[in-house]
């Protein structure tokens, strides 16, 4: 006998992955250049030079004998201190390496928070549309996911709807800004309102409600949009960060959880996060990339191609008559399926080897997500196909 829950997870089809695999099969038939694949959020630009420079310096430097060794479980103290100093400098809120727990990317950071915080009967609020894996992480931790739709049209947080969903079992709310898939960045006013609401509800129910902020796209923003630093707004915030997207390192698996000392019962919350990492068997985050994170925090790859693609796609699709949400950040753009049947649109687009993901897997049918972390040539080649589809749908 094996765990039915895990069998289901292992066998469950993920539409985006299926589309991606379909693209790989088609590439063998029609040539890779003719498959217009916008299915996955795999960064397409190289990491900044400092990433490889740091790797070489570490491998050739005084640490070369120990760099592949185990580190302390929360991460090397020197690396954590360096990241904390960088965060203090960047966001103006003092933090120390002792508040950081380095992880295997944002996915592990989220799991450490959810597994660490969860007690029987707990609920975590997620905002629809949400990153597909949130439900997997929450339910694997033994908790319940409570869905709250984002505000229609803008995809900002709907504070009234969140308030209505909070109850005595609410342990936390998981938010993601810049947002995958909608591309929105929640403005400071929204975050202030959310913080007030969470404080009010925490005292009404006599327990802290944690704000889990999933931030792998923090630096991937356009037009100078500011992403509020949530610990400055709400004391019981846990920041889950990843270097996957900003440094183009998704396969290297490095990120962190920040448990600020402002959090109620800080030492126990931090210990619970660390204990969850231990319980899941993470041991420590990849040691070489701890040094990369320490040296490169705050840097980004050259993201200009994403900005070019975002502008080209948003303008192009809007002119063709599609209803689009303009992304403030991330490298995703969603548009409405003309007849609201996103699965049918995705299938129809596949006939032209245009691969876009229906947002059904994000809990929000009716839209298509375009992952525009690709070279601009692919965007240019895709626009006439989008136009042809617009005509077929009578836009
Ligand atoms: N959260 C969101 C919203 C994401 O889009 C992703 C990856 O695409 C993750 C978390 C996981 O990131 P990581 O690669 O750092 O585990």
Task: Give residue-wise pLDDT tens across range 15-47.
Answer: 888 899 999 999 999 999 999 999 999 998 999
Between the CA of 42 and the centroid of ligand 1 the distance, in Å, is 10
DSSP 174: E
Give me the percent of the chain exceeding a pLDDT of 70: 100
Instruction: Tell me which of 267, 296, 325 is where a domain ends.
Output: 296
In a domain, 236, yes or no: yes
Distances (CA, A) of 165 to 126, 127, 193, 317, 347: 10, 11, 16, 35, 35
Domain shared by 178 and 289, yes or no: yes
* Cα–Cα distance measured from residue 19 to residue 356, given in angstroms and rounded to the nearest whole number: 8
- Residue 54 lies inside a defined structural domain of this protein: no
ipTM: 0.99
Q: Are residues 276 and 182 in the same domain?
A: yes
In a domain, residue 230? The reply is yes
Whether residue 61 is contained in a domain is answered as: no
The reply to whether 211 and 292 lie within a common domain is yes
Domain shared by 328 and 355, yes or no:
yes
Q: CATH number of the domain that 150 lies in?
A: 3.40.640.10
For residue 348, what is the domain's CATH number?
3.90.1150.10
Which of these three, 271, 296, 321, is where a domain ends? 296
219 and 190 in a single domain? The answer is: yes
> What pLDDT shows up at residue 17?
85
pLDDT value of position 65: 81
Q: Whose CA is nearest to atom 5 of ligand 1?
A: 180
Cβ contacts of residue 172 below 8 Å, gap of 6+?
113, 117, 124, 125, 209, 210, 211, 212
Distance of CA 313 to the CA centre of its chain: 21
Residue 9 lies in a domain: yes
Task: Mark whether 321 and 273 lie in a shared domain.
Answer: no
Ligand 1 mean position, distance from CA 34 (Å): 28
Which one-letter DSSP state was computed for residue 264?
T
Find how far residue 395's CA is from the centre of its chain: 32
Residue 286 and residue 311 share a domain: no
Is the backbone of residue 138 left (phi > 0), alpha (psi -120 to 50) or beta?
Answer: alpha
The answer on 96 and 153 residing in a single domain is yes
Backbone φ and ψ for 213, nearest 5 degrees, come out as -105, 110
The answer to whether residue 53 sits within a structural domain is: no
Phi, psi of 108 (to 5 degrees): -70, -35
Residue 60 falls inside a structural domain: no
Residue 235 covered by a domain: yes
Considering the entire predicted model, what is its pTM?
0.96
Q: Determine the residue of 104, 107, 334 to mutate for testing ligand 1's pocket, defined as the one with the most ligand atoms within 8 A of the Cβ atom.
A: 107
- Banded pLDDT at 5 (limits 50, 70, 90): confident
137/141 Cα distance (integer angstroms)? 6
- What pLDDT, in 10s, does the model give residues 241-287? 999 999 999 999 999 999 999 999 999 999 999 999 999 999 999 99
Which helix (H) or strand (E) covers residue 163, if one does?
A: helix 159-165
Cα 82 to middle of ligand 1, angstroms? 23
3-class secondary-structure state, position 144? strand
C-beta separation of 328 from 221 below 8 A: yes
Expressed as residue numbers, the domain containing 287 is 66-296
The answer to whether residues 366 and 333 belong to one domain is yes
371 shares its domain with 241: no
Q: From the CA of 303, how far away is ligand 1's center (Å)?
A: 17
Residues with CB under 6 A from ligand 1: 41, 105-107, 131, 176, 180, 214, 216, 242, 244, 250, 255
CA–CA gap between residue 262 and residue 256 (Å, rounded): 17
- Last-in-domain residue among 296, 320, 353: 296
Domain check: are 42 and 80 in the same one?
no
What CA–CA distance (Å, rounded) separates 357 from 346?
A: 6
Confidence of residue 9 (pLDDT cuts 50, 70, 90): confident
- If asked whether residues 9 and 145 sit together in one domain, one would say no
Q: pLDDT of 288-311, one tens digit each?
A: 999 999 999 999 999 999 999 999
Beta bridge partners of residue 239, listed in sequence order: 213, 258
Overall domain count for the chain: 2
Per-residue pLDDT tens over the stretch 181-199: 999 999 999 999 999 999 9
Q: How far is the CA of 86 from the centre of ligand 1 (A)?
A: 22
């Amino acid at each position: 006998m094996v765990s039915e829950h895990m069998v289901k997870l292992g066998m469950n089809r993920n539409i985006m992955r299926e589309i991606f695999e379909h693209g790989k099969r088609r590439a063998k038939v029609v040539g890779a250049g003719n498959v217009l694949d916008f299915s996955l959020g795999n960064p397409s630009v190289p990491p900044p030079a400092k990433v490889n420079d740091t790797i070489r310096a570490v491998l050739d430097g005084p640490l070369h004998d120990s760099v592949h060794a185990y580190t302390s479980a929360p991460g090397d103290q020197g690396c954590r201190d360096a990241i904390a100093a960088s965060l203090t400098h960047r966001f103006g809120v003092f933090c120390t390496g002792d508040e950081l727990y380095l992880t295997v990317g944002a996915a592990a950071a989220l799991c450490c928070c959810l597994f660490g915080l969860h007690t029987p009967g707990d609920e975590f609020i997620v905002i629809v549309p949400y990153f597909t894996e949130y439900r997997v992480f929450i339910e694997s931790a033994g908790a319940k996911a409570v869905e709250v739709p984002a505000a229609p049209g803008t995809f900002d947080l709907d504070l009234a709807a969140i308030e209505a969903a909070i109850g005595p079992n609410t342990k936390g709310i998981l938010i993601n800004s810049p947002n995958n898939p909608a591309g929105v960045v929640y403005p400071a006013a929204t975050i202030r309102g959310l913080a007030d609401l969470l404080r009010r509800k925490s005292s009404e129910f006599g327990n802290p409600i944690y704000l889990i902020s999933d931030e792998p796209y923090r630096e991937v923003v356009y037009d100078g949009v500011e992403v509020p630093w949530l610990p400055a707004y709400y004391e019981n915030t846990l920041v889950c960060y990843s270097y996957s997207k900003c440094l183009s390192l998704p396969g290297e698996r490095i990120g962190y959880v920040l448990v600020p000392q402002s959090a109620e019962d800080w030492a126990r919350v931090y210990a619970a996060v660390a204990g969850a990492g231990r319980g899941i068997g993470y041991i420590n985050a990849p040691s070489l990339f701890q040094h990369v994170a320490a040296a490169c925090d705050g840097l980004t790859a050259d993201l200009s191609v994403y900005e070019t693609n975002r502008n080209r796609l948003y303008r192009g699709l809007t002119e063709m008559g599609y209803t689009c949400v303009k992304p403030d950040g991330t490298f995703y753009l969603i548009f409405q399926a003309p007849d609201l049947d996103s699965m049918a649109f995705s299938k129809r687009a596949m006939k032209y080897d245009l691969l876009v993901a229906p947002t059904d897997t994000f809990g929000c049918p009716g839209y298509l997500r375009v992952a525009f972390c690709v070279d601009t040539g692919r965007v240019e080649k895709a626009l006439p196909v989008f136009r042809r589809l617009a005509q077929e749908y009578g836009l």
